[in-house]
């Protein structure tokens, strides 16, 4: 079994069926090292350009559902392509990266890869991609619907003035300020602005 076959078999369980072939070939062709990690609260994926004796490195959270995993991996591959074409001469999420992301995502924008609802939101998102999928609230909501069921809910679905847990802190949900809610920490009275799509626990 060659390297491409090993990579293809390793990433196949994390992706929509059939998408592993093209991605495995890209990883090999670009001499990229892919790491599938445990869940990271602060990011879904990461790209690091070659440095010293190390080549391209990409990491993606293995806890993402297949559609979110694919989007994240292609997002990071676009960073790789942008670096190869421009090195450090352009902004990380500037026009060059957006163009690369659109080009890299194009082969996957079909109903054979994504469900209709995800595909519709993703096509809209790709008109002008944001630096992180998590910043696109509508896309996050539709992707979340394909996660394995768990006890967490979006903060926007918690009733006003109700208590919830985020991390190891307890809060009371307050008024909405655009895409965030003013939330008061129980016990200290400190006020935080929390994203409407933060995943929280309720009693």
Are residue 135 and residue 58 in the same domain, yes or no?
yes
Are residue 140 and residue 159 in the same domain, yes or no?
no
Strand partners, 193: 182
| In contact, 21 and 10? CB cutoff 8 Å | no
Are residue 134 and residue 46 in the same domain, yes or no?
yes
Work out the widest C-alpha separation in the chain, in whole angstroms: 59
pLDDT at 148: 85
121, 144, 167 - which closes a domain: 144
Considering just the CA atoms, what is the radius of gyration of the chain in Å?
19
Are residue 80 and residue 170 in the same domain, yes or no?
no
**How many helices and strands, by DSSP H and E, does the chain display?**
6, 9
pLDDT along the chain (203 residues), means of 10: 92 97 96 92 91 93 96 97 94 94 97 97 95 90 90 89 92 92 94 91 86
Are residue 67 and residue 92 in the same domain, yes or no?
yes
Are residue 21 and residue 68 in the same domain, yes or no?
yes
Are residue 41 and residue 11 in the same domain, yes or no?
yes
| In contact, 139 and 117? CB cutoff 8 Å | no
Q: Which token pair is 144?
A: 């979340």
Are residue 121 and residue 43 in the same domain, yes or no?
yes
User: Which strands make up the sheet holding 191-195, listed edge to edge?
Assistant: 163-166, 169-177, 180-185, 191-195
Evaluate the CA torsion angle 23, 65, 12, 122 in order and state its sign: negative
pLDDT at 73: 97
Are residue 190 and residue 116 in the same domain, yes or no?
no
| In contact, 158 and 202? CB cutoff 8 Å | yes
**Structural domain that includes position 88:** 3-144
Are residue 123 and residue 67 in the same domain, yes or no?
yes
Number of structural domains the chain divides into: 2
The H or E element that residue 183 is part of is: strand 180-185
pLDDT at 203: 79
Residues in the chain: 203
Q: Which residues of 23-36 are buried (b: 16+ CB within 10 A; e: fewer)?
A: bbebbbeeebebeb
Are residue 169 and residue 90 in the same domain, yes or no?
no
124, 144, 164 - which closes a domain: 144
Are residue 110 and residue 188 in the same domain, yes or no?
no
- Name the pTM for this structure: 0.85
Query: Can you give the three-state secondary structure of 69-87, one letter per residue?
Result: HHHHHHHHHHHHHHHHHHC
């Amino acid at each position: 079994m060659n390297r491409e076959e090993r990579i293809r078999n390793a990433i196949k369980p994390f992706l929509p069926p059939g998408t592993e072939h093209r991605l495995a070939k890209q990883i090999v062709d670009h001499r990229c090292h892919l790491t599938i990690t445990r869940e990271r609260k602060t990011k879904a994926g990461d790209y690091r350009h070659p440095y010293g004796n190390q080549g391209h490195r990409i990491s993606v959270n293995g806890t993402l559902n297949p559609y979110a995993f694919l989007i994240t991996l292609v997002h990071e591959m676009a960073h790789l392509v942008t670096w190869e074409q421009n090195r450090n001469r352009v902004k990380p999420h500037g026009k060059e990266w957006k163009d690369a992301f659109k080009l890299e995502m194009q082969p996957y924008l079909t109903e054979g890869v994504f469900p209709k609802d995800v595909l519709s939101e993703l096509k809209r998102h790709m008109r002008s991609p944001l630096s992180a999928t998590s910043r696109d609230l509508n896309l996050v909501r539709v992707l979340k619907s394909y996660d394995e069921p768990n006890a967490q809910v979006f903060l926007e679905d918690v009733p006003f003035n109700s208590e919830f847990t985020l991390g190891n802190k307890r809060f009371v949900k307050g008024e909405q300020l655009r895409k965030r809610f003013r939330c008061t920490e129980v016990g200290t009275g400190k006020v935080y602005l929390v994203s409407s799509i933060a995943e929280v626990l309720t009693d």
